[in-house]
Structure formats: C-alpha cells, structure tokens
Amino acid sequence: MLHLDHLSYSSVCSYLACPRGWKFHYVDQVEVPTAGALAFGSAYHETVGAYTINCVADPKNVVPLADIWPIKWREQIEQRGRIAWGNDTMEGLLEMGLRILRNKDIQREIDGISPLLDATGAPRIEEFISLQVPGVPIPIIGYVDLITDDGIPCDIKTATRAWSKDRPGQETQPTFYLAALNQAGYDLNPDMRFRYYVFTKSKTPKVQVLETRRAPGDLVWLLGMVRDVWSAIKAGEFPPNPTTWKCDPRYCDYWDICRGGK
C-alpha cells in the first residue's frame, strides 16, 4: 500500500509527464542511476548559493566561484551514488563547470545577485516552502533557490541550449512556488513575478535572466490540478504516456521494464 507524507513540485510534474514512470519511482521504488546532467545542475546551483551567502557574510574575503565548484561537485558525486554519465564524464563536467564559472559575463551576473535578507540578516536562499491543497491530506513541498532583494523568488537552471523567451510562462514551477509563498502570507511580490537564471553549457557560456508572472486564477487552477493528481494516485491510476518526449529509450529511466519489454 502506498504511504506518502508529502508531494513535491517535481513529483507532481513527474506524474503528469508519465503516471507509469511515477509508479516505477515512488511505488515500486525501482532504483536507477542519476543522470550526470542532474548532478551537474544541483552542484551548480549549490555553488552559486554558497558564493552568494559568502558575499553577504564576509564580503572582504569572498571565496571564488571556481574554488567552490569542485567542492560542491564532489559532494554531489558522493551523495548521488550511481551516476549515468552518457556522453559525459565526471572530469569533463568538472571542467565544464569551471569554464562556465570563470566566464567574465557569468561572474558579473552572479555578482549582481543581491539576496533578500531575513530578520537575522541571513540571505533567503534554499528556502523551504509548503503548500496545502484543499482535499489533499499531505503538503506539497519544495525549496526556492533564492529570493532577491526586490522580493522576487528565483530559480537557477543549467541548460544545454538557451531557453525561448516564452518558456518561463509555460513552466509550472513558478505557479507552485508563488502559490506556496502567497499561502504563507508573503507580501513582498504583489505582481507575482518569478525569475529564472539560465546558464547555458554552450562552448561560449551565456546566462539568461527571464521573468514570468502569474495571476490569481493561475493559483486557483494549480490547486485543482494537484487535487486531481492526488485523486488519481490514490485510485491507483498509473497509465503510460507514450506522447511525452521522455518516452524514448534515450531519456526514460524505465524504458527496459516498460516499452522495452524486459
């Protein structure tokens, strides 16, 4: 029998992408290696977060980004266990991270990030959030990468290529985070803006700063959507979704035990 004490933004999106894949992960607990790109992204945003905290705590003795990165990269490797490297290697991704973080434009953009401080003077980075949805007995939880001093919650992404200008408006993540902050009484972002910092892993690294907004109706829609997902999970409805881009042997962790027929 399935026992859950919470859902997360990523788990709800995972169910929407492919209920069968969600079952393999959360119900059957099929162990699969972590993608190298996922470990890279986590280490990268932890590096930016640690650097930003350092800038606030001791601005006269800031540890360079390129010195923090190898530490965070090794921590991710140790935490993740098995990693599927694909066409990458551990050393290659280490060097890629250094190349990105040593780029002058990247450094300038990161140095320009000014976090909102809490009552103790600490930057609001990796802030835990929890959303209660009527009809769903468990919370939907997550962590906001950072909130900047203009009150806008932000997320740090790494990507193979640049995002289109329309993509932030198509993402569900901002709606989740803005709904949770709104429910918690957060009132420093009345326009309900959300900002992405997208760092591309291209030959010449670039950073995009992209914003999107949500309306009150979007938050209402989100609650209904989460309630429907919860109802389907409790009913044991886990059909495959062959229409998603992830339903491909190159991208699906469970291909062999699903469409692969093993």
pLDDT at 3: 83
Full set of structural domains in the chain with CATH? 7-257 (3.90.320)
pLDDT at 117: 97
pLDDT at 1: 54
Phi, psi of 226, deg, nearest 5: -65, -40
pLDDT at 262: 57
* Tokens matching residue 110: 């990161």
Phi, psi of 115, deg, nearest 5: -75, 150
The per-residue pLDDT for range 164-192, each reduced to its tens digit, is 999 999 999 999 999 999 999 999 999 99
* Tokens matching residue 54: 């350092």
Contact 51, 110 (CB under 8 A): yes
Distance (Å, whole) CA 254 – CA 33: 11
Under DSSP, is residue 115 helix (H, G, I), strand (E, B) or coil? strand
Distance (Å, whole) CA 24 – CA 251: 15
Q: Which of 32, 106, 14, 8 is nearest to 64 (CA)?
A: 106
β-pairing, 140-147 vs 153-159, is antiparallel
Residues of the chain with pLDDT under 70: 1, 262
